[in-house]
Every structure is written in C-alpha cells, then in structure tokens.
Amino acid sequence: MEASVAISRAEGLGRTLRRDRWWVAPLSVAVGLGICGAYATWAIFQGRNYFAEPYLSPFYSPCLGAQCPEEIRLLEFGWWPMSPAILLMWVILGFRGTCYYYRKAYYRAYFIDPPACAVGEHRGHRYRGETAFPFVLQNLHRYFLYLSAFILAFLWYDSLKAFFFEDGFGVGVGTIVLLVNVGLLTGYTFGCHSLRHLVGGNVDCYSCAQFGDGRHRLWRGATFFNRNHMAWAWTSLIYVCLADLYVRLVASGIITDLRIL
C-alpha cells in the first residue's frame, strides 16, 4: 500500500473520474448545431435570392406566399408579409427537433443532461425527462414525419425540375447539388424511428399479421437506413445549408452555374 487520499465519488456538474476528453463530443455538437441553426435562420429570414431558374432553394420549397415568383408559387397567401420560407419552417424544425437522434444530441450538448456518459450533472433539479411538459411533446414526432414527407415530395419534384432549363433538358452543377440534397434528406427520413415503427416495427408476429411479409421487408429497409441515422442527420443537415448557399450564390450573381450537359 502506498498512499491514501480522501474518497471522491464523482458527483456534481462536470465531475467525473474519466480521463479522456469526454467534452469534445458535446462541444462539437453544440458548435455544429449552432452554426447550422444560425445559417438556416439567416437564410430563412432573407426572403430573396432563393430561386435561380431552374433551381429552388430547399428552404423555400414548396413556395407559399405572394412573394414567390409565379412559376414556383404553390399557393398565394396575400396576407403573408414576410419571407415565404418562414411559413413552413416550423415543420422542418419540428421534425428535426423531435427526432430521436437530435434529442440525444441537444439533451447532451445544450441541456447537459447528461453532458457525457458517467459525467456528473445538476442533481438538485427535479428531473422529469420526457414524462412531463414540454418534453412530453416529443411523442408527437410521427406527426412531423407525416408533414415532412409531404415537403420531401416537393423537394423531389424540385430536383427533377432542375433538369429542365429554358432551352430544354440539361444538367447543371445545381441539378446535382439539389439531387444529392434530396437523396440525403430521403435517407434521413427513411431511417426515422417512427417510420421504422409504423411500417413494421409495431408487428410482433409477421407470419400471422396481414401483409406480414411485406411489412417485415419494409421494416428491414427502414432498419438499414436507421442504423446510421446519426450520419444521415448530420450530412443532410450540413448539405441542405450548402445547397441553399449554392442557389443563393447563383441567384445573387456571385457565381455562375456551370452547365454540364
């Protein structure tokens, strides 16, 4: 026996016996989400430079409101005075905000609950998790999924429209940017835990359920995407901002879109 020191069981905010750099992950998430969130908010409130024929920024699709250029306007809400993107952003924010992955990410990074595994947190407060308001509302995630699926359909439509230029069929850098974007968003949506549950996860006995075989197949498909849901969440989030940026730069004349075909 060499020496003895007073016992410290690691309790209290940030206290831990861990020796690794446990704070790197929550800090990177906090910064990453912060940057993407700040860019998206800025872009949504801009209300201009979101359309460069035939490219429409994903933040502005479907385009609702009198301000939308006629060729892309879905509905004309004359009463809406602000940027058209604001009208639908709550759907996307709600979808990502109640997503099981993002919940983990921001509970750790912003609510420090817990900051990392086996690292102390506030003990004094009455922890209620997702049993009470406001976080009990996370249970409505599937409704945001339904609404987002609707928006996703429009994004597919936009990305197909991006093949049609004034002089006919073609492919520009923007076409590829929008196509990759909608592909990533689809991968993210297909891996949604609620979708995985609804398409087949809620079945116990596939051999006795109606359409059991098909539902098991769908469940396996959703499971394939779900396995890397975090990666889909991040790449689609960063990429959607970059896609908006690309359209914005073309629309404002800072760069010219390159035609490939």
Partner 1 sequence: MSERTFRIYRGMQQQGEIVAYRVEISEGMVVLDALHDIQEQQAPDLAVRWNCKAGKCGSCSAEVNGMPRLTCMTRIDELPADQPITVTPMQAFPVIKDLVTDVSSNYAANKSIPAFKPRSPDAPDGSWRFYQYEVDRAQEFKKCIECFLCQDVCHVLRSHGKHEEFIGPAFLVRVAAYETHPIDVEDRSTYVKEHGGIGYCNITKCCTEVCPEHITITDNAIIPLKERVVDRHYDPLRRLIQMVRRTG
Are 101 and 229 spatial neighbours (Cβ–Cβ below 8 Å)? yes
- Run of H or E residues at 102: helix 100-109
Q: Find how far residue 202's CA is from the centre of its chain.
A: 24
- As beta bridge partners, residue 51 has 56
Measured distance CA(252)–CA(49) in Å, rounded: 6
Instruction: Return the number of other C-beta atoms located less than 10 Å from residue 128's C-beta.
Output: 10
Q: Considering the rule CB under 6 A, would residue 100 count as an interface residue with ligand FES?
A: yes
Measured distance CA(215)–CA(221) in Å, rounded: 10
Cβ of residue 25: shortest distance to ligand FES, in angstroms? 18
Q: Considering the rule CB under 8 A, would residue 18 count as an interface residue with partner 1?
A: yes
What, of partner 1, ligand FES, none, does residue 161 touch, CB below 5 to 8 Å by kind? none
Is the CB of 48 or the CB of 104 nearer to partner 1? Answer: 104
143, two tokens: 């409704």
- Residue entry with tokens 């308001």: 133
Are 216 and 203 spatial neighbours (Cβ–Cβ below 8 Å)? yes
Q: How far is CA 36 from CA 112, 138, 166, 244, in A?
A: 20, 21, 33, 12
What, of ligand FES, partner 1, none, does residue 4 touch, CB below 5 to 8 Å by kind? partner 1
Q: Which residues of 53-70 are buried (b: 16+ CB within 10 A; e: fewer)?
A: bbbbbbbbbbbbbebbee
Q: Which residue among 21, 133, 168, 207 contacts partner 1 (CB under 8 A)?
A: 207
What, of ligand FES, partner 1, none, does residue 192 touch, CB below 5 to 8 Å by kind? ligand FES
Cβ of residue 48: shortest distance to ligand FES, in angstroms? 30
- As beta bridge partners, residue 55 has 52
Cβ of residue 193: shortest distance to ligand FES, in angstroms? 4
Site for partner 1 in 101-160 (CB under 8 A): 103-104, 107-108, 113-114, 117-118, 120-121, 123, 127-132, 135-136, 139-142
Is the CB of 116 or the CB of 145 nearer to ligand FES? Answer: 145
Q: Which range touches partner 1 (CB under 8 A), out of 81-89, 148-156, 174-182, 190-198?
A: 190-198
What, of ligand FES, partner 1, none, does residue 255 touch, CB below 5 to 8 Å by kind? none
- As beta bridge partners, residue 3 has none
What, of partner 1, ligand FES, none, does residue 158 touch, CB below 5 to 8 Å by kind? none
- As beta bridge partners, residue 52 has 55
Site for ligand FES in 114-173 (CB under 6 A): 141, 145
Cβ of residue 88: shortest distance to partner 1, in angstroms? 21
Q: Can you give the binding site for partner 1, defined by CB under 8 A?
A: 1-11, 16-19, 100, 103-104, 107-108, 113-114, 117-118, 120-121, 123, 127-132, 135-136, 139-142, 193-194, 196-198, 201-202, 204-208, 216, 226, 229
